[in-house]
Amino acid sequence: MKKIFVLTGEPSGDKLASNVIKSLNEKKKDIEYLGVCGNNLKSLGIKSIYHQKDITYMAFTDVIFNFLKINKKIDLTVNEVIKFNPSILLTSKTNQSKNQNNTFYCTKGMGMARGKSKKNEKIS
C-alpha cells in the first residue's frame, strides 16, 4: 500500500491538492493518506494531524506573535511525517502571478520531482 503525506498551507493549496487526490483515487484505491489539510481534503476523508488554519498567517506581525506556536507545529509535522513514513510527500505552492500555473512538489525517496498543475490536466 502506498502512503502519501499531503501538506497544504492555505485554502487554495488545499483545493488544488483535493483535485489531485480525487484523480488519484479514481485510479488507485489502495492509498493511505495523512496530512496537514483544510476543509476540501478533509471532505475526502483525508486524516489531518491539525487543520491548516492553525499555521496560516498573513501579516508579518501575526507570524512574529505566533512564532512559538508555528515552531511547535513544524516540529509536530516533521515527527508525524517520520512516523508515517510516506512513499510520497505532496506539497503545493500557489504562484501569485496570473501567468503562472500552480506548482506541486512531489518528493519520493531522496529525489524531488516537480510538476506543473493545469486545469483538467490528466494525472498519471
What is the rounded CA–CA span in Å between residue 37 and residue 51?
6
16: domain CATH number?
3.40.50
Asked whether residue 63 is assigned to any structural domain, the reply reads yes
Asked whether residue 98 is assigned to any structural domain, the reply reads yes
Q: Render 43-106 in DSSP notation, one character per residue.
A: HTT-EEEEEGGGS---SHHHHHHTHHHHHHHHHHHHHHHHHH--SEEEEEE--SSTTS--EEEE
pLDDT digits (tens, 9 = 90+) for 17-73: 899 899 889 988 899 999 999 999 999 999 999 998 888 888 889 889 989 998 999
Asked whether residue 124 is assigned to any structural domain, the reply reads no
Asked whether residue 35 is assigned to any structural domain, the reply reads yes
Asked whether residue 49 is assigned to any structural domain, the reply reads yes
Asked whether residue 78 is assigned to any structural domain, the reply reads yes
- Domain ranges, residue 53: 2-116
| Count of domains observed in the chain | 1
Asked whether residue 122 is assigned to any structural domain, the reply reads no
Asked whether residue 73 is assigned to any structural domain, the reply reads yes
pLDDT digits (tens, 9 = 90+) for 63-115: 899 899 989 999 999 999 999 999 888 887 655 555 555 555 555 543 334 44
Separation in Å, CA 78 to CA 58, 68, 74, 82: 22, 15, 6, 6
